[in-house]
Structure 1
Amino acid sequence: MGKQVKESLTVSPYLLWTLIHGTQMGSTLLIFQSRIINGAEMDSLFSFAAVGLSLHLIIAMMFYLLSHSTEGDIISLHNQLFGKWVGSLMTFVFYGYILLFIVNELRPYIEVIHVWVFPYTPLWSLSILFLLVASYIVSGGLRVITGICFFCVIIPSLLIPSLYFPLKQAHWTNFLPLFNHNAHQFAESAYHSLTTMLGVEFLLLLYPFIKNQEKSKKWAHIAVAHSTLIPLIIAFVSFSYFNIQELQHTIWPTLILSKIIRFPFLERFDYIYIFIWFFVIISACCVGLWGAIRILKKTIGIKSRPSLWITGGLVFVIMLPMKNPMMIEKLDSVLTLSGWILLYGYIPLLCAWMSLRRWFANKKSMHNEN
């Protein structure tokens, strides 16, 4: 079993659902439809569902690794498998990945705010504002972050009923013909689907902070299922409303769907949608910042507050040159590739290595007994 930290710092097993789901839901949920159609087009729903199902296997691998780690996280796991120096280097690579993850959550949302609401506000000032809010929340510790992530579970689910309005104008022929794409096209859509569900990898840092770690497994799987179901519903409604040509030229399909909602007392529902989504974005950023702080604290020994400002400063520096949508697209491409390498390459390799080490250790112990 992986080691658990002091009980006063831990959270209940069911709250792992909110932490993982809160990290998976983010800015990509506003734009993912126009990306996953690259390849299988309207059939990309099946590719997306396949990626969601495969993440359950990745979750099982993570639990296997963490249960045999000396301190129950990827930091100690790296030191255990690679030694102190190489292990620390691998951990810092993961730290760099977390920085990209945070930037990929903040920068696209800041672009939405800048284009839709405050077009004359400098991007750097919005970046500082969001980073300060996230830093303030993170300074309260993991339990405060967990409370914020709870909003991320509630808010996207409450917005699902608003999809009834575009569904009234659905064109069901958009889905026809079904299954008219080859395996390569389905694989291409699956590749672009992963960005929407990134966030499960933070289990590698959260595990020691969960009470009754064995009982937390089902909640991690529930989180992944929840994070798969909500985008599938949104994508289904989007595909029924937009045809393939419209989706290819729509930057924020989810926001466009919110624009058609009209009430006698409310004209711009999309503004409410945008500002409510702030809670969703900030949840993922807070978990990312917390994970980065944890790495600096355990690897270098820097205290939490300086680690927070160092990480926040690095995120701000990375965002500064991203002044156009093309840079945001490149960032998303880099993170997508990194996510595939981490989840479907690195994690299985670590599992294989851990299994071999345990097999040789058991064989050696049996030989010594004889």
Structure 2
Amino acid sequence: MPSSASRYGSCSAGPEILSPSRRNDLHLCEDGYPMNQTITKLSLFQLFALIIQAQFGSEELVLPNKLYSIVHQDSWMIHLAAGFIVELVICILWLLLRRYPGMDIFRINPRLTGKWLGSILNLAYTGYFLVLGAFLLVRIYMFLNKWVYPRTPEWVLLSVIVAAACYIGAHRLRAIGRYYSLTLFTTVVFILIALNAFIEHVDWLNLLPIAQTSGASWVKGIGASMTSLIGFEMMLVFASRTNGSPKQILLTALAANGFVVMIHVLLIVVSLVYFSPEELNILPEPIIYMTKTYSFLFVERIDLIYLSFWIISSMACLIIQVYAASIGLAQTFSKKGRPYFLCGGMALCLATAVWLDRPFAIDHWIPFVHAYALAMIVAVPLALLAISAIRTRRGETAP
């Protein structure tokens, strides 16, 4: 009679019984064990929630002001256009992943480019995820320091957040997927905040005039909008760890990005009609200022309640970024013990965030981060897809 581990496909069927060559060919789960059983994978809904939370960082707080300073009343149209472009990029990533079923980007890189160049690309992706995590921590501290904890030392506040993130991120992927499913309710808060604004005094004429900005401003605005949607690239790591057909995974990723775009557009429109143009120009976080004006019979300081839900969403974003980096390190160095890589990555993000503790320092590095993101999300996948297509046309072994 088979053991319970073999009957239910647990990851505990350790790789010790596998030859080294066979071990390299297998798709491994996050702790280094073969991940060919559905019990270790995410559901489609968990992937949906994961991508949404990965795209919700700190940008939604500053997005209305940032876009208004570039394209004014065209902000919501610009964001819709950026969302459509991101949908196309998701299709490109999916085409690459479909050629290598059961493999993530950290397996595809050495498969297509060789061991050494593949390892360099893996480290580049790992560094990219860690950079995103470090900058997210800086953003979290800036907002919490400004609105809630003005006298709390940065390292104390961020250490608490990192400790909680390490605890959650050290669990198995399926358990983390359940956490993301539960935290998806935080997005409902953003919707309710926006809908409540329509009950207050709004001026719909603030949406006019439209289509008055130049083409150069549109291009700049679309670039700014796309950076607020970073996070969809997590499908490069987690699509192969999801139960579902390739078509289902594609539709899930497209739906998740579309959901985030719609919430962003709703927040942008609310900001445009709630604040005057003069006010929107000088309010860096219009959504928080808006919640500050709300008052109910038994509830005060809605802005603090809003920030409480926002920090849950931001921490979920941090966890998945460093989790992806830990997978990259574990697979690149063929080591088990992904939780140790995750804790090390969190510590590195914390140290970087404490070092980058000034807004001007962040502004100095933002162009580099945006260029880094463009390379990792668009340029490298396109190059890999082209290499794979050329090899297939030449009749070489699997793409």
Which TM-score band applies after superposition, normalised by the shorter structure? over 0.9
Q: Could you say which residue in structure 2 is the equivalent of 1:169?
A: 201
Return the letter of the residue paired with 1:91. N
Q: Structure 1 residues 314, 193: closer, same or farther in 2, change over 3 A?
A: same
Q: Structure 1 residues 112, 151: closer, same or farther in 2, change over 3 A?
A: farther
The more displaced of 140-149 and 253-262 is 140-149
Do structure 1's residue 78 and structure 2's residue 109 form an aligned pair? yes
Return the letter of the residue paired with 1:319. A
Q: Could you say which residue in structure 2 is the equivalent of 1:229?
A: 262
- How far the C-alpha of 1:315 sits from its partner, in A, is 0.5
Alignment of 1:110-129 (within 5 A): 110-129=141-160
Deviations 1:133-154, CA, capped at 9 Å, x for gaps: 0000011121222122224422
Deviations 1:23-45, CA, capped at 9 Å, x for gaps: 11121111111212243222021
Identity rate, percent: 22
- Structure-2-length-normalised TM-score: 0.86
- How far the C-alpha of 1:179 sits from its partner, in A, is 0.6
Hey, what's the Cα distance between the residues in 2 that align with 1:131 and 1:154?
Answer: 22
Hey, what's the Cα distance between the residues in 1 that align with 2:69 and 2:371?
Answer: 16
- How far the C-alpha of 1:70 sits from its partner, in A, is 6.7
Hey, what's the Cα distance between the residues in 2 that align with 1:152 and 1:236?
Answer: 25
The more displaced of 220-229 and 105-114 is 105-114
Hey, what's the Cα distance between the residues in 2 that align with 1:92 and 1:163?
Answer: 40
Q: Structure 1 residues 42, 336: closer, same or farther in 2, change over 3 A?
A: farther
Count matched residues. 363
Return the letter of the residue paired with 1:361. G
Alignment of 1:61-100 (within 5 A): 61-69=92-100, 71-100=102-131
Do structure 1's residue 149 and structure 2's residue 180 form an aligned pair? yes
Task: Give SS of 1:26's match.
Answer: coil
Q: Could you say which residue in structure 2 is the equivalent of 1:203?
A: 235
Return the letter of the residue paired with 2:297. P
Is this contact kept in 1: 2:128–2:376, CA < 8 A?
no
- How far the C-alpha of 1:120 sits from its partner, in A, is 0.9
- How far the C-alpha of 1:66 sits from its partner, in A, is 1.3
Q: Structure 1 residues 235, 152: closer, same or farther in 2, change over 3 A?
A: farther
Is this contact kept in 1: 2:137–2:350, CA < 8 A?
no
Alignment of 1:124-143 (within 5 A): 124-143=155-174
Do structure 1's residue 42 and structure 2's residue 73 form an aligned pair? yes
Do structure 1's residue 238 and structure 2's residue 271 form an aligned pair? yes
Do structure 1's residue 328 and structure 2's residue 362 form an aligned pair? yes
Is this contact kept in 2: 1:39–1:187, CA < 8 A?
no
Q: Structure 1 residues 244, 348: closer, same or farther in 2, change over 3 A?
A: farther
Structure 1: which 5+ residue stretches go unaligned? Answer: 366-370
Alignment of 1:244-255 (within 5 A): 244-255=277-288
Do structure 1's residue 338 and structure 2's residue 372 form an aligned pair? yes
Hey, what's the Cα distance between the residues in 2 that align with 1:30 and 1:103?
Answer: 18
Hey, what's the Cα distance between the residues in 2 that align with 1:333 and 1:18?
Answer: 29
Do structure 1's residue 218 and structure 2's residue 247 form an aligned pair? no
Return the letter of the residue paired with 2:49. T
- How far the C-alpha of 1:242 sits from its partner, in A, is 2.2
Q: Could you say which residue in structure 1 is the equivalent of 2:315?
A: 282
Task: Give SS of 2:284's match.
Answer: coil
The more displaced of 157-166 and 200-209 is 157-166
Alignment of 1:12-51 (within 5 A): 12-51=43-82
Task: Give SS of 2:49's match.
Answer: helix
Return the letter of the residue paired with 1:287. I
Is this contact kept in 2: 1:98–1:288, CA < 8 A?
yes
Hey, what's the Cα distance between the residues in 1 that align with 2:59 and 2:182?
Answer: 17
Q: Could you say which residue in structure 2 is the equivalent of 1:305?
A: 339
Is this contact kept in 2: 1:102–1:285, CA < 8 A?
yes
Q: Could you say which residue in structure 2 is the equivalent of 1:265?
A: 298
Hey, what's the Cα distance between the residues in 1 that align with 2:389 and 2:273?
Answer: 46
Hey, what's the Cα distance between the residues in 2 that align with 1:83 and 1:178?
Answer: 51
Structure 2: which 5+ residue stretches go unaligned? Answer: 1-25, 28-34
The more displaced of 4-13 and 109-118 is 4-13
Is this contact kept in 2: 1:195–1:335, CA < 8 A?
no
- Structure-1-length-normalised TM-score: 0.92
